[in-house]
Amino acid sequence: MNYDIANPDLAPQGARRIEWAGRRMTVLKTIRERFLKEEPLKGLTVAACLHVTAETANLMLALRDGGATVTLCASNPLSTQDDVAAALVADNIPVFAIRGEDQESYYRHIHAVLDMEPDITMDDGADLATLLHTERTDLNPIGSTEETTTGVIRLRAMAADGTLRLPVVAVNDSATKHLFDNHYGTGQSALDGIIRATNMLMAGSTVAVVGYGDCGRGVALRASGHGAKVVVVEINPIRALTAAMDGHQVMTADDAARVADVFVTVTGNKHVLRRQHFDVMKDGAILANAGHFDIELDLEVLGEMARDRRPIRNSLEEYELADGRRILVIAEGRLVNLGAAEGHPADVMDMSFSNQAMAAEWLALRAGTLEPGIYTLPEEIDMEVARIKLASLGAGLEELTEEQKAYLSGWREGT
């Protein structure tokens, strides 16, 4: 078996972490039990490019129980948990991922999983799908799945210019994914990453959240729960108004740059903080990015502005500017929650990865029948994921009476 990981000796520790995460992934467990019986992916190869974490490992095991041959590479060079990679390899799943790998090795690994000629590809950021449309047009999978907002945006751009040649399930668009993973997952884990990297006290500090989408709202909610004053920067008036009504101050990036102690970018956009903002930031300002790619902070410019740079703590680098001010960058501007913490808690990845497993099954059942395009999983699957999760939380779910059903579907009863 081919694989490329940092250290196979870490397997026992990785296996314990996978088991621990698995205990909190109750929906995936239910799906896995059904997959074992029904083997809906029998005979198929699934190549995944996802963050190599304990939660992802549980997804890989579920897909294998579903009958698939699985292989995994990283969707970010800084998010790989080397012990988890080792445990999967010990369990005969080929993994190609090493934490901190350089660009060359990152892409070599992506090619390595594609070399297994997958029937289904799974992406977090559309890296596999992009290669399938550029260097690897020799491959013809049944379809692909996409985990995150940025990946879906890239794929929609491909569909819009007529380039997309595959059916793709936008897992991010399932309510049980983006309303929970992006909001509660990013909210908690981004704060976790900032705190682990800096050990700062959030209470009393000013946190600027740039981008008030599903992720940004979560980050703002948790920062304010820690006692921080939150300022929000948005370009969309409705989202900006929502932030204002949620009790946050809303301002331009230029204004926020002068007042904030910590900046968290979550826009999916490029260079949202750049020279004009670095120029006016306070000494000691801390920059973190929770958006998918490491392009939200213009770190090339910050590097040019710096007269000195040094690592000061794990996952924290200090840039000393020509005028003596220091600006600190967490996890090289890559996803703060994965670079400086452990990513989303298993409880929330449970729902995201249950949708991934269902998406693989959905594609397998429709092999050869789907036109190229972006698909969303049917609402029944979303509801089913939510129902199983609720049951595992011990929550009760009210049901409509016959009278209520009739009332909601009729129009005769009024004032």
Residue numbers of the site for ligand NAD (CB under 6 A)? 148-150, 178, 181-182, 186, 210-216, 233-236, 239, 266-269, 272, 290-292, 335, 337, 344
**Residue closest to ligand NAD (Cβ):** 213
**Hey, which residues does 299 pair with through a beta bridge?**
none
Query: What are the helix (H) ranges across 161-278?
Result: 175-177, 186-198, 214-225, 237-245, 253-259, 275-278
Closest contact distance (angstroms) between CB of 312 and ligand NAD is 23
Burial class (CB in 10 A: 0-12, 13-18, 19+), 397: exposed
Closest contact distance (angstroms) between CB of 333 and ligand NAD is 12
Cα-Cα-Cα-Cα torsion 170, 174, 179, 185, nearest 10 degrees, comes to -60
Closest contact distance (angstroms) between CB of 334 and ligand NAD is 10
Nearer to ligand NAD, 31 or 210 (CB): 210
Nearer to ligand NAD, 118 or 343 (CB): 343
Nearer to ligand NAD, 77 or 94 (CB): 77
Nearer to ligand NAD, 83 or 296 (CB): 296
Nearer to ligand NAD, 197 or 233 (CB): 233
In 3-state terms, what secondary structure has residue 1? coil
Closest contact distance (angstroms) between CB of 127 and ligand NAD is 12
Closest contact distance (angstroms) between CB of 195 and ligand NAD is 15
The whole-angstrom separation of Cα 53 and Cα 14 is 9
**CB-based contacts of 351, cutoff 8 Å, min separation 6:** 27, 176, 177, 180, 181, 385, 386, 389
Nearer to ligand NAD, 124 or 361 (CB): 124
Closest contact distance (angstroms) between CB of 215 and ligand NAD is 3
Closest contact distance (angstroms) between CB of 264 and ligand NAD is 10
Nearest to 286 by CA among 363, 354, 198, 396: 198
The whole-angstrom separation of Cα 415 and Cα 409 is 16
Mutual angle of helices 54-65 and 346-365, in 10-degree steps: 30
Nearer to ligand NAD, 245 or 395 (CB): 245
The whole-angstrom separation of Cα 272 and Cα 393 is 39
